Structure 1
Amino acid sequence: MVAKIEHKNRTGCPIACSLDIIGDHWTLLIIRNLMFSERHEYKDMLKAEEQISSSILTTRLSKLEKDGLIASVPHPDSQRRKLYYLTPMGKDLIYVMTDIVLWAKKHLHDFLDIPADKQALLDNDPKKFIDITLENLDHWEKHNLS
């Protein structure tokens, strides 16, 4: 197997370098799970509709921790389990993720399934959607990381 040469070793292009970290769809779906779907446990991420395999999920979670987008703490109910959460660096992706959602709403609307409360916010006030999402993440952290 040939080793992957990261873009940062070839180019200073910000898009290419960013794709080294977030360039596969599983990574963005894990970030989505943590950001919008309140899925903070490995087992809950495995249950997502996209059906990620356990080996890919394990690998991606480890890579995201190494890259500084997520962190984990032991689960309060069992030291064998972890709770994953977004770091400030990971939370900063909310703007990119929201823009992807807005792009999809414009171009892929026939295929989308967005909860009504989120749909209304996205239609009327995307900034408020972002603010509420960040508040929810902060609330989760205060409740689970204290």
Structure 2
Amino acid sequence: MSLTQRSLCPISQALEVVGDRWSLLIVRDLAFTGKRRFRELLQSDEGISSTVLSDRLARLVEAGVLARHGHPNHRQMAVYSLTPVGIDLLDVVVSLGIWGRRHLPVTDASSTPVADLERGGQAALEELKRRTLQEHVMNASAAGASEN
């Protein structure tokens, strides 16, 4: 991926990849809601447009945050999964969720997963990352191997 390099600051570089208003929400949906296909991601509460979603998915795939796979039963349909790089973003997503839960008006339903992770501490976050790795990376690898 060709990053715009305003500086070599790691925060600036990271914001070039996920600093828009949609990318971390896509990571959130993939990790917490089980959404994996374009149409499912379009149905998120925030109301992303299909054009913006298509652009963000392509950028996240190019950056190595997501992987795009063919659907096993429908070759024209894509399935998206988090890569290990994307799974590392869960630390950021959870931290933002904790901050938002503490300081902004949120619903109990939307903040329950974050509250559970906050109560569980680092061990709960590591378990989430382990499960997500299993679901997104290991299962995608197994599916790819069976296609060959």
Per the normalisation by structure 2, the TM-score is 0.83
Shift of 1:64: 0.6
Cα drift, residue 120 of structure 1: 5.0
Q: Distance in 2 between the 1:89 and 1:101 partners?
A: 19
Asked if the contact 2:18/2:24 (under 8 Å) is kept, the reply is yes
**Structure 1 stretches of 4+ moved >3 Å:** 141-145
Are 1:91 and 2:87 counterparts?
yes
Give TM-score scaled by structure 1 length: 0.84
What does 1:1-146 align with in structure 2 at a 5 Å threshold? 6=4, 8=5, 10-108=6-104, 110-112=105-107, 113-114=109-110, 116=112, 118-119=113-114, 121-141=116-136, 142-146=138-142
Structure 2's unaligned 5+ residue stretches are 143-148
Q: Which residue is equivalent to 2:145? A: none
1:50-78 CA distances to partner (integer Å, 9 max, x unpaired)? 11111111111111111111001110120
Contact 2:97 2:111 (C-alpha < 8 Å) held by counterparts: no
Q: CA contact under 8 A between 1:121 and 1:128: conserved in structure 2?
A: no
- Compared with structure 1, are the counterparts of its residues 143 and 12 closer, same or farther at alpha carbon in structure 2 (3 Å cutoff)? closer
Moved more, 130-139 or 41-50: 130-139
How far apart in 2 are the matches of 1:83 and 1:39?
A: 9
Instruction: Provide closer, same or farther for how the CA distance between residues 119 and 102 of structure 1 changes in structure 2, counting only shifts above 3 A.
Output: closer
Percent identity, aligned pairs only?
Answer: 29
C-alpha distance in structure 2 between counterparts of 1:39 and 1:138, whole Å: 15
